[in-house]
Amino acid sequence: MKFLAGAIFLSLTFLSCVGLLGCATGSSMALPSANTLSGSGSSARTTPDNNLRRGRALLVTECTSCHRFFEPGEFEAEEWESILPAMIGRTAISKRQGTDLAAYVMSAARYAQEQEATDLVTQR
């Protein structure tokens, strides 16, 4: 009985590690860092890295209380343009923070589109 409990505990621990790792690698792909974005040219030149960094953090903390996490790459930048104002309005963040969040999401969405385009060409 003790053995069984131990085995169950171990396999649960193993499964949750796998799950966490999956999430960690998945989200770093889906949530490019500020450095990656500014190096790629996907972000507006006028948006400093610090703002992108803050925007990225806000997206994770402020946008998951009502629904699942939407990755920037799930919508095109033009679609986000119509989604974001209403969604930012549903959070309690300031206008300044909303601008950072929007800058990050738009840049990351463009970055995802560029990556897809690159993959199309290089995977042939």
Q: Under the rule (CB under 6 A), what is the footprint of ligand HEC?
A: 62-63, 65-67, 70, 83, 87-88, 90-91, 101
The smaller minimum CB distance to ligand HEC, of residues 9 and 96, is found at 96
What's the closest the beta carbon of residue 43 comes to ligand HEC, in angstroms? 17
Judged by beta carbon, residue 67 or residue 124, the one nearer ligand HEC is 67
Q: How many CA atoms lie within 13 A of 76 on its CB side?
A: 6
Distance of closest approach, residue 122 Cβ to ligand HEC, in angstroms: 29
Of residues 12 and 58, the one with the C-beta less far from ligand HEC = 58
Alpha carbon distances (Å) from 119 to 112, 116, 122:
10, 5, 5
Smallest distance from the beta carbon of 38 to ligand HEC, in angstroms?
21
Burial of 70 (0-12, 13-18, 19+ CB in 10 A): middle
65 or 122: whose CB is closer to ligand HEC? 65
Q: Are the C-beta atoms of 43 and 103 separated by less than 8 Å?
A: yes
